[in-house]
Amino acid sequence: MSSDELDKLRNSINKLISVSSFFSSSRNPGTALDFLNRDETFDSDKFHRVLFKIAADPSVVTTKPFADISSFSKYPNEAEILFMVASIFRLDHIFQNEAGIWTIEMTLCGDDDYDLKKLYEHMKKEYWGDVKEIDLLSFSEVLYHMGKYSSAAKIYHRLLKELPPKSTSFSKLYYYLGMIAYKKEDYDLSLSWYQKSLDILNGNPTSNYINIGELYNCIGEAYRGKRDYNQALEQHNKGIECFEKAHAKNHPTMAIIYNNIGLIYQGQEKYTEALEYYEKSLAINKEYLPDDHADMARSHHSIAIVYDCLNDYTRAMEYHNQSLKIKLKAYPSYHPSIADSYQCIGCLHYDKNEWKKALEYFQKAANIYNRTLSEEHPKVVRIESNIKRVKSKLK
């Protein structure tokens, strides 16, 4: 944590703070300290090691903003506790031990003892709509957005077996299973799940054009993964037609569709067209989203890739760094998307013959990929190959 951030907290004892993202913790102090002691490269004059010690009583917080997810974790020995978005804490005490580690003691507030309840309700509605209770399906969505795909998939498959045959949740289950398959680059399986979801939506008279348009966008992405660019573009255009029928040409999801069309043109090495669609995407995002929203990171990332393809390394680095800066705020520290940025920045340094810098970023990416993805995942294989490649240059 930076000195400025720490000073702000030290001056806020007995005040309330709200956490704007989901975050994981551990009931095992040794696990937390192990993470804390891994990075030896930080500037001790500007940054400090910080350990949060949280007191959380489930009996006074009936909206369940935290849960023990050890049974779903890839590393059950970590005794992982997940806190949900907009959790409110009271700062109790901050002190530094002999080893130079700052401990921040705070208490999770109850349902009615804080002034930010409206914020909590807004964030809850953004993620789960008008549901009154955060159920297992909603919790699995949290895991998915945190990048814990295997844990989320376990819950989805469990729900497929347990939900009644006419449950309205099947379309969403198929959709997320398709998303997870896509993240694992199993595009045929992804398309199979998406088609099941689309069949339900098309057969339901209450389905709206926006939901169907979003699904066409996902189907287009899977075809792009298969390098079937013509079919991908056709599906994205179907998505655009749905948004036009809904009179929502500037809907935030349109930014995603434009971004994905840009990716198609990029795959075809039509970089001018790609940049045009990326800029359309960024313009919509700027209209609807705060500067630090995760979708803004995607826009900057896409533009960076085009400049990289055009060998404009200066602009590419500028946009990659902007994307990474946003991701570090928007995502948990071990989210695969952060690793994607580290990987791309490492490649830029490699292209500039900056071997040590390239290795530094490749290793950062590998640290996250190895923690969140399987050993045989293509991203894990690629990053290990990149590390070997750059090490051979350093010999």
> Coil, strand or helix: which one is 316?
helix
Residues 6+ apart with CB under 8 A from 165: none
User: Which H or E run includes 82?
Assistant: strand 80-83
Four-point Cα dihedral 307, 308, 309, 310, nearest 10: 50
Closest listed residue to residue 138, CA positions, set 17, 257, 22: 22
Parts of the chain belonging to CATH 3.90.176.10? 1-130
- Tokens of residue 340, six digits: 């994607």
Grouping H, G, I as helix, E, B as strand and the rest as coil, residue 16 is: strand
C-alpha distances (whole Å) from 164 to each of 110, 120, 227, 257 are: 34, 31, 37, 34
CA–CA dist 395, 390 (Å, integer): 9
Q: How far apart are CA 379 and CA 373, in angstroms?
A: 8
Residues of the chain with CATH 1.25.40.10: 135-249
CA distance 132 to 24: 24
Q: What would be the CATH architecture of the domain defined by 135-249?
A: Alpha Horseshoe (1.25)
Residue 20's pLDDT is: 62
* Pair of tokens at residue 108: 């999770």
Angle at 360 between CA 357 and CA 364, to 5 degrees: 145
Strand 80-83, strand 23-26: pairing? antiparallel
| CB-based contact 175:215 (threshold 8 Å) | yes
Confidence (pLDDT) at 58 = 79
Q: What share of the chain is helix, strand, coil (3-state, %, to 5)?
A: 60, 10, 30
Residues 198, 285, 149, CA angle at the centre, nearest 5°? 50
The helix (H) or strand (E) run that includes residue 391 is: helix 378-394
pLDDT tens-digit profile, the chain (395 residues): 888 888 888 888 877 777 766 778 888 888 888 877 766 666 677 788 899 999 988 777 666 578 888 887 766 777 888 887 667 788 889 999 888 889 999 988 775 554 445 444 544 555 545 544 446 777 777 778 777 788 888 889 988 988 888 888 899 999 999 999 999 899 999 999 999 999 999 988 777 899 999 999 999 999 999 999 999 999 999 999 999 999 888 898 999 999 999 999 999 999 999 999 999 999 998 888 888 888 899 889 999 999 999 999 999 999 999 999 999 887 877 888 999 999 999 999 999 999 999 999 999 999 999 888 888 889 999 999 999 999 999 87
Q: What is 1-130's CATH superfamily?
A: Toxin ADP-ribosyltransferase; Chain A, domain 1 (3.90.176.10)
Q: Taking the complete model, does pTM exceed 0.85, yes or no? A: no
